[in-house]
Amino acid sequence: MEIIKNYLIVENKRWIIGSLLIAFLLLLPIAILFIKLFSEPGKNFSYLWDTVLIDYTFNTFYLIFITSFFTLLFGLFPAWIISNYRFIGRNFYDLVLFLPLAIPSYIMGFTYIDILSFTGPVQSFLRNTFPVLASYFNIDYLQIETLGILLGLALYPYVYTAARVAFSLLGSNYIDLSKSLGLSTIKSFYKIILPLSRPAIFSGLFLVFMEVLNEYGAVKYFGINTYTTGIFKAWFSLGDIGTAIQLACLLLLVVFFFFVLEKISSSKTKFFYETNSPVQRLLYVNKDKLLFFHLVCSIPFILGFFIPFVFIVNNVFQTYSSIDFVRLFTLSFNTIFVSSLSSFIIIIVALFFLFVEKISKTKINTIISHLISLGYAIPGAVIGLGLIMLFSNIMDSFFSVSLIGSFYVLIYAYVIRFLAVGKSPIKSSLEKHPESYDDTGKNLGLGPFKLLQKIHLPINKFALISAFILTFIDIMKELPITLILRPFNFDTLATQTYEFAIEEMLPLSSSYSLSIIVIGSMLLLFLKNVINKQLNVS
């Protein structure tokens, strides 16, 4: 009775019911997996358990460890230097250090293996110039350690971005305080700044974990067995969906473990950036440090963007005559179409959920908002599997066949997987605005829809643009979901790049990878401009 009474006095009921329905649709595929886990036991799970499961587990965690180490190495130090020091080239580095985000991990993997191969430019140069050294470099680079370093190069921008914002927003007070307490700059960094920025850095690192768990293209190319490749193998090679589901649920447990770790990290210590304190003053650099700073800032950019970019451009020139421009344009159009449409839907859904959470102030909406964000932590292969299970079980075969492999399901999967990417910038922008805007709006006669339309949409427009660009880039690079759920005869730049590369026809994939990189880079540079307008940090 109490519940019914409470429900009756809840405001904005229609908005809340709408959000519950959409959340149900978003969580359903994952729920189906867990239901299936108990109803359809896999035939080959005990075989996997006896043979390769330990290998999968070790490889997955080892890869996460190496990648995390290198993302921290490539991300943290440039972020600290750029947030604190003024030197020639600083603005350039600040602009280009984001750019590896435009290169999908699998392209990074394919490209570097080609560069380092026996016929590649590095070994050819060494053979011609330093023949003695050449034999030391003629090794098998398809190793998990190499992949870890390459993933580190592709994914360090997540840590760089989080750390860069955290270091800049800390303000000068903490630095001044630590100096007045007698700490050197290096000690201030380790004892004050790093612990204070830990939640932000860990949230960046959490994204790296999730990307590694979700990685399929590069891991498959390197021949390393992880949970994600295991799911594909059980499903497509062994034809055993039950085992694929069991592996997917195991992977979800790993994801859940990292999720809890991230929550513990951010809840144990609550920090509030002193946004009202003066922005960190930039220090001039001594000449003796200048070279070191340039090295620290340029290495991630050169290795993470410049070298693969130049190599791919070179490949494009060399294979220019064999480029199928019609196909390239068709696939570019497909990619832009599906990424734009999905991103647009994601932004609307994300804004809807965040707005309902804001106006309803009920616990259930806060919980839902957290739950639907979990999609980003769920690997694409698991989401794909969940959706196929869902449609093949609840509908008759005619409808399920026509739905699976349609744009609807592909976009549905993208929304589940990338909703958190779209939500993040909108959420932080909404939180920046005081609650009194809503109260003032209501006091001046606005209902919820007009409040959204007349106040929140215009004042959060930069965040909406940022969210659109980030989801667009992520969807454009996405591989496992697209491979599993794309409509028949439908290719994107990502799938075409992967298919050529996996068939060892890397030069032919270059024009497609270059298109992904160019579109992504242009959007990232535009995004940087938007962020600079939105967030005036030094």
Partner 1 sequence: MYLEVKNLVKYYNKELPIIRKLEFSVKKGEIISFLGESGSGKTTFLKCIAGLEKIHSGSISLNNVVLNDKGVFVKPQDRKIGFVFQDYPLFPHLNLEENIVFNLDKKYHKNLDYILNLTGLKYFISRYPHELSGGEQQRTCVARALIREPELLLLDEPFSNLDSAIKESMREEIYKIIKETNTTTILVTHDINDSLNIADKILIFKAGIVQQYDKPEKMYCEPANCYCAMILGDMNKLFIGSETYYVRPEKVEVVKKSNHKIKVEKCFFQGREYKIKGRYNNEIWHFFSNKSINENEEIFIDFKKIDLIYFDPVCKNFFK
Of 199 and 448, CB closest to partner 1? 448
SS3 of residue 482 by DSSP = helix
Q: Contacting partner 1 (CB under 8 A), which of 434, 488, 489, 536?
A: 434
Indicate the DSSP class of residue 377: G
Judged by CB under 8 A, the stretch of 14-22, 237-245, 334-342, 439-447 that binds partner 1 is 439-447
The residue behind tokens 């990338």 is: 418
Judged by CB under 8 A, the stretch of 276-284, 301-309, 351-359, 455-463 that binds partner 1 is 455-463
**Residue 455 interacting with partner 1 (CB under 8 A):** yes
CB of 275 to partner 1, least distance (A): 14
CB of 451 to partner 1, least distance (A): 10
The residue behind tokens 């026509």 is: 402
**Residue 443 interacting with partner 1 (CB under 8 A):** yes
Of 62 and 462, CB closest to partner 1? 462
Helix, strand, coil shares of the chain as percentages rounded to 5? 80, 0, 20
Of 115 and 446, CB closest to partner 1? 446
**Residue 275 interacting with partner 1 (CB under 8 A):** no
Judged by CB under 8 A, the stretch of 157-165, 241-249, 255-263, 448-456 that binds partner 1 is 448-456
* Euclidean distance between CA atoms 452 and 442, whole angstroms: 11
The contacts of residue 322 (CB under 8 Å, 6+ apart) are 508
Of 208 and 467, CB closest to partner 1? 467
- Strand positions, DSSP E, 28-143: 85-86
How many CA atoms lie within 13 Å of 384's alpha carbon, on the beta-carbon side? 24
Site for partner 1 in 230-259 (CB under 8 A): none
Q: Which of 219, 527, 240, 512 is nearest to 379 (CA)?
A: 219
**Residue 450 interacting with partner 1 (CB under 8 A):** yes
Residues binding partner 1: number (CB under 8 A): 18
**Residue 537 interacting with partner 1 (CB under 8 A):** no
Using the CB atoms, write b or e for 248-281: b if 16+ within 10 Å. bbbbbebbeebbeebeebbeeeeeebeeeeeebe
Indicate the DSSP class of residue 238: S
SS3 of residue 471 by DSSP = helix
**Residue 327 interacting with partner 1 (CB under 8 A):** no
Strand-strand pairing, 85-86 and 283-284: parallel
**Residue 458 interacting with partner 1 (CB under 8 A):** yes
* Euclidean distance between CA atoms 31 and 431, whole angstroms: 30
* Euclidean distance between CA atoms 474 and 380, whole angstroms: 12
Q: Contacting partner 1 (CB under 8 A), which of 436, 488, 489, 536?
A: 436
Judged by CB under 8 A, the stretch of 116-124, 270-278, 444-452, 493-501 that binds partner 1 is 444-452
**Residue 276 interacting with partner 1 (CB under 8 A):** no
Chain residues binding partner 1 by CB under 8 A are 9, 434, 436-437, 439-447, 450, 454-455, 458-459
